[in-house]
Amino acid sequence: MKVVTGVFILAIIVLLIYLYKKKIWVLLTSLASFLIGVLICWFFIADFNFSTDYEYYRTVVPLGALIVTTASLILTANTTKKNSEITRDTRAETTFMNMIKLNNDILKEVDEKLFSEVLNDIKEEFFKYTFMLNRGAKFINEYFDEHGEILIRELESIDISKYDNGNLNQIAGFRKQYIDIIKKRPRREVHKLWFTLNESIEDYKVELSPKNKENVFKDPFTKILMEHTSFYSEMEYKYKFDKRVLSAPVSYKEMVISCNSVFNKYYGELGHLFRNTHRIIKILNTEPLDDIKYSQFIGILRAQMSEEVLLILYYNATYTDRGIGLGRELLGSGFFGNEEDFPFYVNKNDYRALKNYKEPQHFRLNRLILPSMDCEIMSKLYSKYLLKKTNKDRKKLTNEDLFKKFEATFNSNQSNNFAKSILKRRYLKYKGNSKSDEV
């Protein structure tokens, strides 16, 4: 009798251990809860004074039968659940493969040269004359926001009669023009002031077109400001050394402006690709797939795309208003690779970068437009190491919050100057020779 009881208890323990190792938590919890309830009930109700084996088996056998029946029901339910999951996975796989086929058909309709053209156009945005013009205008507006009232008082306090050569009214008129620029910030006049500031710094300037050089302020009052006041000299110091307007690294907001401009231009050709890829990844994110199956699907999708297509999708998702929805779905997906697929040191400010350099797994580093910052976003936000957290972020973050998250990650590994941001050519090569560059 004791042997039978021992074997029975041992069988129950082995079953519980098996369920624990296989991580079949539903079965384990159900069986354990049932056993605890039965044992408690048995303890209070059963009569343990067995005078014969018959009485013992009469008590134990129904209990054993009940346990076996319960285990059978649970196993049946688990098998049904697994079959349901297999059916669901098959359906998800069929849907996924059909959309992959559609995506491949879309790619065939797009001229392959277009992808390289788009990437080059984004990079060239930073070498257009208007890029530094906008930086210069932004600097002047911010400078006047901070120092405007003081500057106006200083301009009004200048005794222009000391510089009267019969043109006192003209000098007074130009002084009023400067005060109006500080107060009202007319766009064309702010640009002309930047031309003047640019030309006043001999070793730190953009090469202007002949037409724009004609717009440099050369009036008598400007000469007074340059030769007898600190109006331009203080602004020059801030411009060159404090804000480093021409040599500052590319910012996240500047990249957003450039990408929005380029992708709006090509949206007619690429919009279908963006929308379909967005839909595929959204389906994968909403299906209850396990990590292995999810990674397999992501890998299959990535394998269908060239290096240029992957990067086009990245820049659209990370830096454009229209693409932010795709960026949301890409969070934690591992679509561009996982953290270990990127160079350990990608920031060109770090001397260890060359020593520990290696190429990313799925594309060449020199094809990235902003290598340090782009690798940081791909490895920190799009890789799978924060998948559980990003799944929550995907639901709760607004578009504005998501842009802020991208910007914070971008800034965490920002290159320390413009040349290192782009890794192409020096900033002094700007030229404004086309009519569209002129003011």
Q: Which of 285-289, 314-318, 361-365, 430-434 has the highest mean pLDDT?
A: 314-318
What SS3 class is residue 89? helix
pLDDT digits (tens, 9 = 90+) for 6-40: 555 666 666 666 665 655 655 656 666 566 556 55
Using the predicted structure, report yes or no on whether residue 151 has a pLDDT greater than 90.
yes
Distance between CA atoms of 16 and 322, rounded to whole angstroms? 53
Calculated CA dihedral for residues 402, 403, 405, 408, nearest 10 degrees? 180
Higher pLDDT, 400 or 60: 400
Using the predicted structure, report yes or no on whether residue 98 has a pLDDT greater than 70.
yes
Q: What pLDDT score does 144 carry?
A: 97
Distance between CA atoms of 24 and 16, rounded to whole angstroms? 10
Provide the residue ranges of all domains of the chain, joining segments of one domain with +.
2-88, 129-242, 249-416
Reference 250, options 241, 242, 259, 262; nearest CA is 259
Q: What pLDDT score does 415 carry?
A: 87
- Average pLDDT of the residues in 196-220: 93
Tokens at 396, concatenated:
């709760």
Contacts of 112 (CB under 8 A, 6+ apart): 306, 308
Rg (CA), the chain: 35
Q: What pLDDT score does 426 carry?
A: 40
Distance between CA atoms of 413 and 380, rounded to whole angstroms? 11
Reference 234, options 315, 146, 120; nearest CA is 146
In 194-304, beta strands by DSSP E: none
Tokens at 53, concatenated:
């084996």
Q: What pLDDT score does 70 carry?
A: 62
Q: Hey, what amino acid is at 314?
A: Y
Q: What pLDDT score does 90 carry?
A: 74
Long-range pairs, 55-63, Cβ under 8 A, ≥24: 56/1, 60/4, 60/5, 60/8, 63/38
Distance between CA atoms of 235 and 148, rounded to whole angstroms? 12
Q: What is the average pLDDT value for the chain, to the nearest integer?
A: 82
Tokens at 145, concatenated:
């926001």
Using the predicted structure, report yes or no on whether residue 306 has a pLDDT greater than 80.
yes
In 66-157, beta strands by DSSP E: none
Long-range pairs, 175-180, Cβ under 8 A, ≥24: 175/221, 177/221, 178/221, 178/225, 179/152, 179/155
For residue 40, the surrounding DSSP H or E stretch is helix 25-45
Q: Where residue 436 falls among pLDDT bands split at 50, 70, 90?
A: very low
**Surface-to-core class of residue 312, CB atoms within 10 Å of its CB (0-12 exposed, 13-18 middle, 19+ buried):** buried
